Amino acid sequence: MKIRLPELADALQQTDVRRGYVDLGTGRIVSLAGEMDEEETMEHIFSVEEDWERYVMLPDISEEEEKNAMRRFAELQQEPEIRERMRAALSGVRSRARFRRLVEEFHLRGKWKSFLRLHFLSVAREWCGENGIVYEN
């Protein structure tokens, strides 16, 4: 069974707030928050424990990977002022918030969203390769 790479990328982008698994039997990405009520969550946890070889837990990488994407995005900016201000924003506490304000200030929201999407698709592709999981685009 193949998993859908865009769904995996979305799930990986939310791993800081939602734990999830890839169900190797169905190819589904299962999130333990949001779409399941408490009873469904417990039922799923028990099924994972009973058939643990069928599931691969998603790593908690969203914050780290978002920061990596921010650094890369900043480096790709052609205008030196934008590039330098973005680099400076990425140091210290609340760097993500400062970076996002600059994205808005420089009217780069669309470019940033597209870049972040492609970044997480790349991360998902790499993760599938590392875990021997077959995917489709």
* Same-domain check for residues 66 and 116: yes
If asked whether residues 71 and 101 sit together in one domain, one would say yes
Phi first, then psi: give them for residue 20, nearest 5 degrees: -150, 170
Instruction: Specify whether 77 is located in the same domain as 32.
Output: no
CA-angle at 51, arms to 22 and 128, nearest 5°: 25
Give the C-alpha separation, 105 to 108, whole Å: 8
Q: What is the pLDDT, as a whole number, of residue 98?
A: 96
**Spatial contact of 62 and 14, defined as CB atoms under 8 Å apart:** yes
If asked whether residues 51 and 76 sit together in one domain, one would say no
For residue range 75-126, list pLDDT tens digits in order.
Answer: 999 999 999 999 999 998 899 999 999 999 999 999 999 999 999 999 999 9
The pLDDT value recorded for residue 51 is 78
Q: Which sign does the torsion angle of CA 73, 75, 80, 86 carry?
A: positive
Predicted local confidence at residue 75, as pLDDT: 97
How many folded domains does the chain comprise?
2
Q: What is the pLDDT of residue 121?
A: 96
pLDDT interval class at 33 (50, 70, 90): low
Whole-structure pTM value: 0.83
Is pLDDT at 34 greater than 70 in this prediction? no
Question: What integer pLDDT is reported at residue 52 of this predicted model?
Answer: 79
Q: What percentage of the chain exceeds 90 in pLDDT?
A: 58
The domain containing residue 20 runs over which residues?
3-60+127-136
